[in-house]
Structure 1
Amino acid sequence: MLKLDECSITNGGFTLKANMAIKAGNRVAIIGPSGAGKSTLLEAVAGFRDLVRGDIFWRRTNITTLSPGKRPIAMLFQDGNLFPHLTAEQNVALGLRPSGKLSVDERSQVQAALARVGLTGMGTRRPSELSGGQQSRAALARVLVQKRDLLLLDEPFAALGPALKTEMLDLVSALAVETGTTLLMVSHAPEDARRIADRTVLVADGIAHPPVPTSELFENPPPALRDYLG
């Protein structure tokens, strides 16, 4: 279980409060108005933003003071963060070792991850030789080889067209189910939450509200969500 215990997070002059628990294996969307603090919440869980007060626990272990690299977390950003001078294989390899120097077994893991995201035979291509969807798949493969308990997505597919975005969301959802990974996904799009998230966190008015069933939230939205949805 991921637990945010009476947390306060600041970003400039803005403060976000969060007090919630997310069961291991849940797929959770984080939704709310622009500037409400969705990415701020994700950054705090990942360790990129310190807490003013409170604690974050994963499986009853306090991870509040751990650096991002020491947390059981992988994060996929909006731009994918692929290095343009490296091949897809080399970019994925960084998920295992920053040096990129892999054992035979680790190289096999890289090839298996590329295959799982549909990039068989494309490992020697650089990002400029891949389509936008293929770049997203390579970034996802790099996350996949890390085998972390928690996967955080900060709108990584926002730049893709509707069909490609749907395809990537379905792939992420399938991988999360296969591996038992706990998924937290920031999104502006209600249809994305409905598609892959069994729970949704509403972030509004300085509060990250505890997760509720996605269908229930959208069938009976609170005032802040109604205002956002129009």
Structure 2
Amino acid sequence: MTSPTPTGAPATTASPARAPQRRTLLSVDRVGRSFGDVRALDGISLDIAENEFFALLGPSGCGKTTLLRSIAGFETPDEGEIRLGDDDLLAMPPHRRPVNLMFQSYALFPHMSVAANIAYGLKREGLPKAEIADRVDEVLATVGLSSLAKRRPAQLSGGQRQRVALARAIVKRPRLLLLDEPLSALDRKVRAEMQLELKRLQHEVGITFVVVTHDQDEAMSMADRIAVLADGRVQQVATPVELYRNPANLFVADFIGSSNRLAGTVDAGHFVAPGIGRLPSDGTSDVAPGSEAHLVVRPEDLRIVPHGAGVLDGKVSEVQFQGGASTVAIAVPGQERPFLATVPGVAAQTRGSHVGLTWDSAVVVTDDRA
């Protein structure tokens, strides 16, 4: 694992050849929006490609929904530009933008059938009846609801209602589909199924999807790239793997997945933790000697070894079995938080065991944002 550079950009490493870069569809340039003294968006800049599944990820209040609403036309930025291809979106009223927003609540008409809900927007546009029927039939087949076309929303499951809302959004063939927490109303099992379904549908219909979520698992499983936001600013834009393996700062390292971290300094190419000493890390080469830094080790990279045989020693405080793997919490003297290690299957360790900890690689981040 390689470390980010001090500026927050991942260090250059050899990697397999990538597919040709797709053309930019949506460009957000230095967009700002304030509500009184609250700076909801603070100079946001993003480029989103054609046919990309892009996620805006961050905690509540980070600005992701304000950005989504600005793209849709329900918020007007104080400064900056938003362009869709050659079109200036900010110069267009919401109903003229080739953009559709799928709301969190789905907002289906309860008195209409599935087919009528999907056809509603096309009828408002005044399209011929034959074309409406053909497009509704096509999208019903795409989302797997042809047999339920005559049912009403109350007769559907949560996952089926979600598909109806998605069908209603894509039947108008927008260039860009915005989804605001689209799976939050579903239970865990259905949500996992719909994550795969959304990804399949996005590939099939060939529309650029931008999804807002606070659920990192949701973003990581669906998106081609993710923008992590905090305090109205973009912290990092990268693929799920790059975010996880090369976080640009401490906020991203903590927010994406679980991590074990130690505060310390960098000295002569080594990471030095107070009270512990020098620790293995291959991520210090781009960090200035004497700099304060944090060493981050993911739970799956932490190895449990016999007491005294590792670089740290501790005592097992908890073991959680989670099906295919177990999480072992190890209390290390002088550290406020226990270290977490992921081991396959059933853990051999038990509560109260004295163990050692070691790892092969780690990432060093220099940004103290937490």
Shorter-chain TM band: over 0.9
Question: 1:194, 1:120 → 2: CA distance?
Answer: 30
- 1:132 matched to 2:158? The reply is yes
**Superposed displacement of residue 213, structure 1:** 1.7
Q: Deviation per CA, 1:7-39: give whole Å up to 9, x if none.
A: 112345422121121121211111111111111
- 1:9 matched to 2:36? The reply is no
Give the aligned residue type for 1:181: I
Preserved contact between residue 89 and residue 97 of structure 2 (Cα < 8 Å) = yes
Match of 2:123 among 78, 93, 97: 97
Question: 2:131, 2:50 → 1: CA distance?
Answer: 28
Structure with greater strand share of residues: 2
Of structures 1 and 2, the one scoring higher in RCO (CA 8 A, sep 6+) is 1
SS where residue 34 of structure 2 aligns? Answer: strand
Preserved contact between residue 28 and residue 211 of structure 1 (Cα < 8 Å) = no
Q: What are the residue-to-residue correspondences of 1:92-171 with 2, within 5 Å?
A: 92-98=118-124, 103-171=129-197
Aligned to 1:217: 243
**Compared with structure 1, are the counterparts of its residues 101 and 60 closer, same or farther at alpha carbon in structure 2 (3 Å cutoff)?**
closer
Preserved contact between residue 29 and residue 200 of structure 1 (Cα < 8 Å) = yes
SS where residue 184 of structure 1 aligns? Answer: strand
Give the aligned residue type for 1:24: E
Q: Extract structure 1 runs of 4+ deviating beyond 6 A.
A: none
Match of 2:102 among 65, 76, 83: 76
Match of 1:197 among 223, 230, 237: 223
Aligned-pair identity (%)? 36
SS where residue 97 of structure 1 aligns? Answer: helix
Match of 1:226 among 249, 253, 273: 253
**Compared with structure 1, are the counterparts of its residues 112 and 27 closer, same or farther at alpha carbon in structure 2 (3 Å cutoff)?**
same
Preserved contact between residue 52 and residue 224 of structure 2 (Cα < 8 Å) = yes
Preserved contact between residue 19 and residue 209 of structure 1 (Cα < 8 Å) = no
Q: What are the residue-to-residue correspondences of 1:170-209 with 2, within 5 Å?
A: 170-209=196-235
Preserved contact between residue 2 and residue 56 of structure 1 (Cα < 8 Å) = yes
- TM-score w.r.t. structure 1 length? 0.92
SS where residue 50 of structure 1 aligns? Answer: coil
Question: 1:45, 1:211 → 2: CA distance?
Answer: 18
**Compared with structure 1, are the counterparts of its residues 5 and 210 closer, same or farther at alpha carbon in structure 2 (3 Å cutoff)?**
farther
Match of 1:51 among 70, 77, 89: 77
Structure 1: stretches of 5+ with no match in the other structure:
none
Higher alpha-carbon deviation: 59-68 or 99-108: 99-108
Tell me the number of residue pairs that the alignment of Structure 1 and Structure 2 aligns: 230
Aligned to 1:34: 60
Larger Rg: 2
- TM-score w.r.t. structure 2 length? 0.59
Q: Deviation per CA, 1:135-154: give whole Å up to 9, x if none.
A: 11111110120111111111
Question: 1:70, 1:108 → 2: CA distance?
Answer: 24
SS where residue 133 of structure 1 aligns? Answer: helix
Preserved contact between residue 31 and residue 190 of structure 1 (Cα < 8 Å) = yes
User: Could you say what the CA RMSD is over the residues aligned between the two structures, in angstroms?
Assistant: 1.9
Q: Deviation per CA, 1:39-65: give whole Å up to 9, x if none.
A: 111111111100101111111321112
Higher alpha-carbon deviation: 3-12 or 16-25: 3-12
Structure with greater helix share of residues: 1
SS where residue 171 of structure 1 aligns? Answer: helix
Question: 1:100, 1:135 → 2: CA distance?
Answer: 25
Higher alpha-carbon deviation: 138-147 or 111-120: 111-120
Question: 1:58, 1:68 → 2: CA distance?
Answer: 13
Higher alpha-carbon deviation: 84-93 or 168-177: 168-177
Higher alpha-carbon deviation: 134-143 or 101-110: 101-110
**Superposed displacement of residue 211, structure 1:** 2.7
Question: 2:150, 2:117 → 1: CA distance?
Answer: 10
Question: 2:75, 2:62 → 1: CA distance?
Answer: 16
